[in-house]
Amino acid sequence: MVYKFRVILDAEDDVFRDIAILEDDTLEDLHNAIFNSFGFDGMEVASFYTCDETWNQEDEISLFDTGDIPGEQKVMSDYQLSDILDKQNTKIIYVYDFINMWTFLVELAAIEDQVLGNLYPETIFSHGEMPDEAMEKNFESDNADDYNDEFEDGLDEDDLDMFEGDDSFEDYGFEENWN
């Protein structure tokens, strides 16, 4: 079967690509198809994120294993598209280049029979021009002010003056560890 995705850039203007790819291809194959269809060079790190029906981000699936224990973290090449996407689970988020944070909403739009002679993956429709810069992201929580209020200690920079000239702290000799 062929999965047909609409990949929408999170931007002010409408920029999207429709991509057809085989259901047994991996998330890494989809990653390659996305960065190629949007004109990126593929030299940056990327991740997919599972999400719910309202695009709330859940689990990360990265391009490379970045875990503390090698092999513990699953990566894009470990997942066939059909492992995580189907008629009920149609949405996934893709982030390319963690410096610029190009963010894409990827939705499974159709599952169709493979057309003999077609090469997959393929970009079957392209709309809009890529902007020069990614849209700025705001990662502040809706209740960030509540969090700050809860942990307000009432101290400011002047309060730290109480430690000046205090030699009562023990020197653990950390400088010698840097030689």
Residues 96-143: tens digit of each pLDDT: 998 999 999 999 999 999 999 999 999 999 998 888 788 776 545 455
Q: What is the pLDDT at residue 26?
A: 96
Q: What angle do CA 36, 61, 86 make, to 5 degrees?
A: 80
- At residue 144 the predicted structure's pLDDT band, cuts being 50, 70 and 90, is low
Tokens of 79: 């997942």
Closest CA to 92 of 35, 31, 13, 1: 31
pLDDT for 73-91, tens place per residue? 889 999 999 999 988 999 9
Which tops the pLDDT comparison, 136 or 63?
63
| Residues 25-36, mean pLDDT to the nearest whole number | 96
Q: What is the pLDDT at residue 120?
A: 94
Q: What is the pLDDT at residue 56?
A: 94
Q: What is the pLDDT at residue 132?
A: 78
Mean pLDDT score of the chain = 83
Q: What is the pLDDT at residue 12?
A: 87
- pLDDT of 162 strictly over 80: no
Cα Rg of the chain (Å, integer): 23
